[in-house]
Amino acid sequence: MIRRLLTRLGASALVLWGAVTVSFTALHLTPGNVVDVLIGSSIVTPEVRAQIIADYGLDRPLPVQYVTYLGRVVRGDLGQSYQLHEPVVTAIGAQLGPSLQLAGSALLVAVTVSVTLAVLTARRSRWIQVVELVGVSIPTFWTAILLLTVFSFQLGWFPAVGADGFAGLVLPVIAVSIPITTLLTQMMRENLELVLEEPFVLTARSRGLSDLGVRLRHALRHVLVPAVTLLGWVIGLLVGAMVAVEQIFSRQGLGQLTLSAVTGKDLPVVMGVVLFTAVLYVVVNIVVDLLYLVIDPRLRSAA
């Protein structure tokens, strides 16, 4: 068990090291002088240029530069954004809150709704399949525009702009959670339908358990392993979804930050976001792995 955890952490460290290396390589493969690449489209004084050369060790051999960079990342220093005039860590930190709020709420809604739908509809109704198909097929940005047009511009129920308070959160959360909810519902419902065919379900019913009781107490747990896998995968994709949704709803957040950094060629921020995403992936995967052990005792003895 301990050994498995250690291997897992070791592998995670390797993944992160890979991500750091990739971002370092990207920096040096981008055409042009490294200093210019780091500065991007902003204009700086010669003193700042000298500072950059010193910070990144650009006057020294490449291996030394690599080690210097690695050392800074390990200390949590992701460099300076010369366009935003603040450290990358501060920039990401400032945008993290609204994004986490949106992503967290969307996941909560998705999990609650999909579990309810899957438990209630498995082997009972056919219409849910149509709903699932529609939900999975509609692109998030289109849902977002549609929601905005109907509920903000025409009905005026929700604000069209900003991230203030609960009202501003409703439409973005719906837009982000629709594809996740439908995907999860479809997967859990189909798995539940298979599980409900299993002999232990019949046995549980022969003890006098109600149909709903069997679904909640027995069958649901059996679909949690694939559901958690899918959810972990979805969390990784959320960073991408944020870009479109935050832009459409004019919300602050990591998506907006990424978008402006990419369009403004603010490479330190782009590299910072790449590393942040890698850390997120690794953490989510470790959590998913631990959840497997909580859900399925058979995996515990294998561990």
Contact residues for other proteins, defined by CB under 8 A: 198-200, 202-211, 217-218, 221-222, 295-298, 301
- Residue 38: name the closest of 261, 255, 273, 257 by CA: 261
Please list the residues that pair with 81 across neighbouring strands: 86
Alpha carbon 134 to its chain's center: 23
Our CB check for other proteins shows the closer of 75 and 298 to be 298
Question: Which is nearest to 114 in space by CA: 44, 207, 34, 183?
Answer: 183
CB of 198 to other proteins, least distance (A): 6
Cβ proximity to other proteins, 204 vs 238, nearer residue? 204
- How far is Cα 173 from Cα 63, in angstroms, rounded to an integer? 45
CB 202 within 8 A of CB 241: no
Can you point out the beta strands (E) in the chain? Answer: 80-81, 86-87
Which residue, 60 or 221, is less far from other proteins as judged by CB? 221
State which residue, 63 or 297, has the beta carbon closest to other proteins: 297
User: Amino acid identity of 192?
Assistant: L
**How far apart are CB 213 and other proteins at their closest, in Å?**
9
User: Smallest gap, in angstroms, from Cβ of residue 204 to other proteins?
Assistant: 7
Q: How far is the CB of 68 from other proteins (least distance, A)?
A: 47
Q: How many CB atoms lie within 10 A of CB 124?
A: 11
Closest CB to other proteins among 90 and 203? 203
Nearer to other proteins, 164 or 197 (CB): 197
Chain Cα centroid distance, residue 187: 19
For other proteins, the closer of residues 122 and 180 by Cβ is 122
Instruction: State the residue for tokens 């792995």.
Output: 289
Residue closest to 119 by CA, chosen among 223, 38, 256, 35: 223
Cβ-based nearer residue to other proteins, 59 or 211: 211
**Gyration radius of the chain's alpha carbons:** 24
Q: In 10 A of CB 9, how many CB atoms?
A: 12
Look-up: residue for tokens 């392993």?
Answer: 225
Q: How far is the CB of 207 from other proteins (least distance, A)?
A: 4
Q: How far apart are CA 274 and CA 124, in angstroms?
A: 44
Bridge partners (DSSP) of residue 86 are 81
C-beta neighbour count of 74 within 10 angstroms: 11
Q: How far is the CB of 123 from other proteins (least distance, A)?
A: 9
Separation in Å, CA 277 to CA 86, 242, 245, 282 = 20, 12, 18, 9
Q: Minimum distance between the CB of residue 6 and other proteins, rounded to whole angstroms?
A: 20
Nearest approach, Cβ of residue 280 and other proteins (Å): 29
